[in-house]
Amino acid sequence: MTRDDLAARRGVETTVYQPAEDSALLARAAVDGVSDADRVLEVGTGSGWVAGEVARETRADVVASDLNPHACRQAREHARTLADESGVGFEVVTADLVSAFADGAFDVVLFNPPYLPTDPDNDWGDWMERALSGGESGRDVIEPFLDAVGRALAPGGRVLLLVSSLTGYETVLDYARERGFGAEKAVEESYPFETLTVVRLIGTD
């Protein structure tokens, strides 16, 4: 199933985030930055499209996770289709960020987080809204992720995190550095209302 096939669900899909420009940017950075020997986790996989691209293009061992059970079902469907078409699939786990995984389990962790700054007085309770809302600052999910992800990284492991200018690029990088990560830009694209950057984070402790 292609990105276009999945993206066609946008506008009618009410429970699972479908691939868009941010997904494509993260996938590009991951395919360029992952080797076939890596064990890779994609957090917040949604439809599973990014995880599938990484598995198909790199032949790395890929695990995809999401807190949303609807997303996990759709990602498993995508993984089965990919395996039927190319002989390469990926595992899907229902999990909140990296809480379900052992210490040092992954060489690379990918995350396209919910990042839209949202009004705290609005009810952002359904699954699609939770896939988009980053709270008032846009960083309500990014910061807990950065607090936790280091534990799940193997020695020399790295994180590829998508950051929007809407969430405060330098603020996110400062938060990551305070948690022991070195940060460098992997890829970046600008759009009329935001700039999207995939940041490569590498543990320095």
Structural domain of residue 69, as residue ranges? 3-203
Q: CATH number for the domain including 176?
A: 3.40.50.150
**pLDDT score of 124:** 62
Cα–chain center distance at 186 = 14
Q: Whole-prediction pTM value? A: 0.91
**pLDDT score of 9:** 46
Query: Which tens digit of pLDDT belongs to each residue from 25-75?
Result: 999 999 999 999 999 999 999 999 999 999 999 999 999 999 999 999 999
Q: Which token pair is 50?
A: 């990014």
- Identify the three-state secondary structure at position 190: strand
- The pLDDT of 68-92, averaged and rounded, is 95
Average pLDDT of the chain is 91
Q: Which residues contact 186 (CB under 8 A, 6 or more apart)?
A: 29, 32, 33, 160, 197, 198, 199, 200
Q: Check if the beta carbon of residue 152 is closer than 8 Å to that of residue 104.
A: yes
* Number of domains making up the chain: 1
Burial class for 66, CB neighbours closer than 10 Å (0-12, 13-18, 19+): buried
